[in-house]
Amino acid sequence: DAGITQSPRHKVTETGTPVTLRCHQTENHRYMYWYRQDPGHGLRLIHYSYGVKDTDKGEVSDGYSVSRSKTEDFLLTLESATSSQTSVYFCAISDTGSRGDTQYFGPGTRLTVL
Amino acid sequence: KNEVEQSPQNLTAQEGEFITINCSYSVGISALHWLQQHPGGGIVSLFMLSSGKKKHGRLIATINIQEKHSSLHITASHPRDSAVYICATSGGGLTFGKGTHLIIQP
């Protein structure tokens, strides 16, 4: 299994509070991704990174920011959490990029915003 | 934006049956992925293919680039194959179908 961990694995928070989710990899892969998974929508891309300090927006980036100061860590921040951000968040990594490269997924973080 | 459609959404079959899950997409792609998600949430990559066919054990994936269509087949299905199967297309991150919930009954 690819070495990907996510923390925390579960979090309950209140509307309006800031939340940061962490993805950590030990594979030295260049690309890292944040997805959210919701019933009826499936998985959707939030943000991705193609190198240290290099990030780009995905399909559902509003309300989220990311940072990558080290190859191994990719942080997802909800500046002011809303109930619509209740979801399961998955981090993924790939070595050479999304075109024709396998992605390996972390175990997920279940976030509940009350 | 690539639209990825899967069918069926839900499938219940008896152990031993041959299973087919279909995936179609709207825009030309460089690669298509098949993923498996078991209850409890972990997502595992099964296949990545850009042409032809790939086989791994009882799983077979095919893709027709001209028709923008891919299929995932499971031969001699088993209850442990029960999971959600998701297809996804490559391009600045993955674009996913909504998944096929497969139940194999003993």
Q: Nearest C-alpha of chain B: how many angstroms from A5?
A: 12
Size of interface A-B (CB pairs under 8 A): 64
Q: Nearest C-alpha of chain B: how many angstroms from A61?
A: 13
Q: How far apart are CA A111 and CA A3, in angstroms?
A: 22
The per-residue pLDDT for A98 is 53
**Mean residue pLDDT across chain A:** 93
> What residue of B is the nearest CA neighbor of A32?
B93
The per-residue pLDDT for B100 is 97
Q: How far apart are CA A28 and CA B24, in angstroms?
A: 33
The per-residue pLDDT for A40 is 85
Nearest to B68 by CA among B106, B95, B44: B95
| pLDDT single digits (tens) A24-80 | 999 999 999 999 999 888 899 999 999 999 999 999 999 999 999 999 999 999 999
pLDDT bracket for residue B90 (50, 70, 90): confident
The per-residue pLDDT for B27 is 84
The answer, for B87 touching chain A at a CB cutoff of 8 Å, is no
pLDDT bracket for residue A12 (50, 70, 90): very high
B9 neighbourhood in chain A, CB within 8 Å: none
Q: How far apart are CA A54 and CA A69, in angstroms?
A: 9
Give the list of residues 6+ apart from residue A47 with CB closer than 8 angstroms, or none: A33, A34, A55, A56, A57, A58, A61, A64, A65, A66, A76
B91 neighbourhood in chain A, CB within 8 Å: 98-99
Which residues does residue B86 pair with via DSSP β-bridges, in sequence order? B35
The per-residue pLDDT for B43 is 94
**Inter-chain CB proximity A48 and B92 less than 8 Å:** yes
The answer, for B97 touching chain A at a CB cutoff of 8 Å, is yes
- Chosen for mutation from A23, A32, A38, A43 (greatest number of chain B CBs closer than 10 Å) is A43
**Mean residue pLDDT across chain B:** 93
| Mean pLDDT calculated for residue range B50-59 | 94
Q: How far apart are CA A96 and CA A113, in angstroms?
A: 35
Place of tokens 């191994």: A72
Place of tokens 């260049």: A30
Q: Nearest C-alpha of chain B: how many angstroms from A91?
A: 10
- CA torsion sign, A64 to A68 to A69 to A74? positive
| Mean pLDDT calculated for residue range A103-114 | 95
- Residue A7's CB is within 10 A of a number of other CB atoms, namely 13
Report CA A48 to chain centroid distance, whole Å.
8
**Inter-chain CB proximity A42 and B86 less than 8 Å:** yes
| Mean pLDDT calculated for residue range B2-17 | 95
Helix (H) or strand (E) segment spanning residue A52: none
The per-residue pLDDT for B21 is 98
**Inter-chain CB proximity A103 and B98 less than 8 Å:** no
**Inter-chain CB proximity B94 and A107 less than 8 Å:** no
Percentage of chain A with pLDDT > 70?
95
pLDDT bracket for residue A100 (50, 70, 90): low
The answer, for A45 touching chain B at a CB cutoff of 8 Å, is yes
Residue type (1 letter), B24:
S
The per-residue pLDDT for A102 is 85
| pLDDT single digits (tens) B21-50 | 999 998 878 889 999 999 877 899 999 998
Residue type (1 letter), A85:
Q
Q: How far apart are CA A30 and CA B8, in angstroms?
A: 35
> What's the DSSP call for residue A96?
S
